[in-house]
Amino acid sequence: MAELTHLDPEGRPVMVDVSAKAVTRRLAVAAGYLELDEAAAEALTRGGGPKGDPWSVARLGAVGGVKRTSDLIPLAHPLAVEAVDVIHHWDPTQRRAWLRVQVSCEGRTGIEMEALAGVSVGLLVLYDMLKAVSHHMSLGPARLLRKEGGKRGLITLPWAGCPWEP
């Protein structure tokens, strides 16, 4: 059975010591969606509003979320992020606004939390952009689709209904 790495033998939270781990190329891809009601969906389809283009601002928010992950998650290591790619997809049938965030770096620890934080913050920004029209929106889920590098190597996690392959 795997042990929780962020707890010491007494059960207290600790930041994992990664100094002995090898530096490897790290990549993580996460995706998630915001489910909208009709009014919010119509506003998103129309595009710009008083706060600007919702998709552009959400994409910037996702990048900001990636960059601030170690500020948001207490035991996450600050990483020197080298690249962030954010793409979006609108599914009008299910009224789901999807975001996909891919993050990469060279480091001693994984970058999955950065990808997940990017998706989450980007979707929260989209919520903020649309809330003037409606608060009837649901956030999530957000999931890891792909992870590369480190001891475990490549991990892919297919998600039925997700517009992107892991």
The strands making up 155-156's β-sheet, listed across from edge to edge, are 83-91, 96-107, 24-36, 137-148, 155-156
| Distant-in-sequence, close-in-space partners of 111: CB < 8 Å, separation ≥ 6 | 26, 27, 28, 79, 81, 103, 104, 105
CA angle 101, 102, 108 (to 5 degrees): 130
Q: Which two tokens stand for residue 135?
A: 């608060």
Q: List, by residue number, the catalytic residues.
A: 128
Distance CA 112, CA 28 (A): 5
The amino acid present at 17, given as its one-letter code, is: D
Q: How many CA atoms lie within 13 A of 137 on its CB side?
A: 28
